[in-house]
Structure 1
């Protein structure tokens, strides 16, 4: 659906600008605190939220269109495989803070849960579970979940030292909201359906290649920065 693809493309573009700033900072060309400055931390939260909201919307569309399990598993394997590559690449660049459960890791797990439970639950149950997932880390934490092997749950007492961290809780709540909204909008045949204005078509094209773009944009940005530093 072009409108959903355009929304996903917007998330990709915003992410690229954010990562470009992060890379400039890592290269020493600017001085920003990406880990504590609200200007950057809130942007990260918004970008991840938009990603997962789009993922939930996309699953609602897939279910409505009768997507079969083999096609789901093919896409899921791509996401999970890319998550593994992200872990390996980040371990090479940031051995002390490599990504063990970032956005793709979280998405792979959430997609499994959503695809199994989402079609079976009524709208009110989806919304209730979404709110519970969003609130859970604020309501209860335990030191058991602070290790790298268990922090994927999200009930940590302290944020782990890692370059990206998107645990099951609270982020499953965002994907559940996306699925619930998508199902409601599809039932009313509005919002997601229909065409888009010509200026937005490049965003829709970008959104249609979101996973490939996600995996390639950082190596390209880092390569360009490396060339720039070699030339100046």
Structure 2
């Protein structure tokens, strides 16, 4: 196995946990969409906190993965091939969500944000330990943005579709999924910084053998993009087939 193609099962297993948690969350969301569950996924903390944790875990793993790729000497050509897959899937998500939710389609969701943040993480990977305070500033900037909007109404221009992908907003846009650059780049920066520290100081933490459940999860983490793209059509298709078959 070549150095560049080597993987760490621990990161793949952690990514798989995020994917399974996301799938369970979306299953409940689909039940709600079809009227079999009655929950407020946009305001109830039980659901909003889960979404935040799922996205955080996913982007943390993306940062860890970038640190490993760079340590293994992954060049820009290989990076761009993978990036093109993410960007292409992001466009497909926009198109599919427009068909289902034309008034709130996904124009900057998790894959859109990931595509932009991967480039920024790659360009800033040489910051080393400065990635930690940079991540904190990214989170703080998004947290402070609503207060700054109140103080300076002219900042409302950042709420428009031309700029709200940055995340410096006073009001969240109407969309089914919204993962702007700020604060989420901060989470990816922390994942990148943590991965660099682990590779340098504690590489054994990434290479130690996993328990059986971890070894079984790791393969799922290697197909995360395919799983992400397919799980919702499969879930919705199965639930709609159930409704058609049993008339519920």
Asked if Structure 1 and Structure 2 have the same fold, meaning a TM-score greater than 0.5 normalized by the shorter chain, the answer is: yes
Give me the TM-score of the superposition, normalised by structure 1: 0.97
User: Number of paired residues?
Assistant: 230
Alignment check: 8 A CA contact 2:128 2:196 kept: no
CA distance in 2, matches of 1:154, 1:190: 37
Alignment check: 8 A CA contact 1:100 1:148 kept: no
When structure 1 is superposed on structure 2, of 131-140 and 194-203 the one drifting more is 194-203
**Match 2:114 to one of 101, 107, 111:** 107
Structure 1 position 128, deviation (Å): 1.2
Structure 1 position 117, deviation (Å): 1.3
CA distance in 2, matches of 1:97, 1:201: 39
CA distance in 2, matches of 1:194, 1:77: 32
Identify the residue that residue 154 of structure 1 maps to in structure 2.
167
1:122 equivalenced with 2:135 (yes/no):
no
Identify the residue that residue 187 of structure 1 maps to in structure 2.
200
When structure 1 is superposed on structure 2, of 34-43 and 198-207 the one drifting more is 198-207
Hey, which bits of structure 1, 4+ residues long, moved more than 6 A? none
CA distance in 1, matches of 2:82, 2:210: 26
CA distance in 2, matches of 1:149, 1:223: 34
> C-alpha deviations, 1:128-171, integer Å up to 9, x for none?
11000010022234211111221100011101110000000000
Unaligned runs of 5+ in 1: none
Pairing 1:81-96 to 2, within 5 Å after superposition: 81-96=88-103
RMSD of equivalent CA atoms:
0.9
Alignment check: 8 A CA contact 2:142 2:168 kept: yes
Structure 1 position 38, deviation (Å): 0.4
Identify the residue that residue 207 of structure 1 maps to in structure 2.
221
Structure 1 position 193, deviation (Å): 1.9
1:55 equivalenced with 2:31 (yes/no):
no
Q: Which has the larger radius of gyration?
A: 2
When structure 1 is superposed on structure 2, of 53-62 and 136-145 the one drifting more is 136-145
Give me the TM-score of the superposition, normalised by structure 2: 0.91
CA distance in 2, matches of 1:138, 1:116: 24
Structure 1 position 42, deviation (Å): 0.2
Provide the secondary structure at the position in 1 that maps to 2:217: helix
Alignment check: 8 A CA contact 2:15 2:221 kept: yes
CA distance in 1, matches of 2:110, 2:44: 20
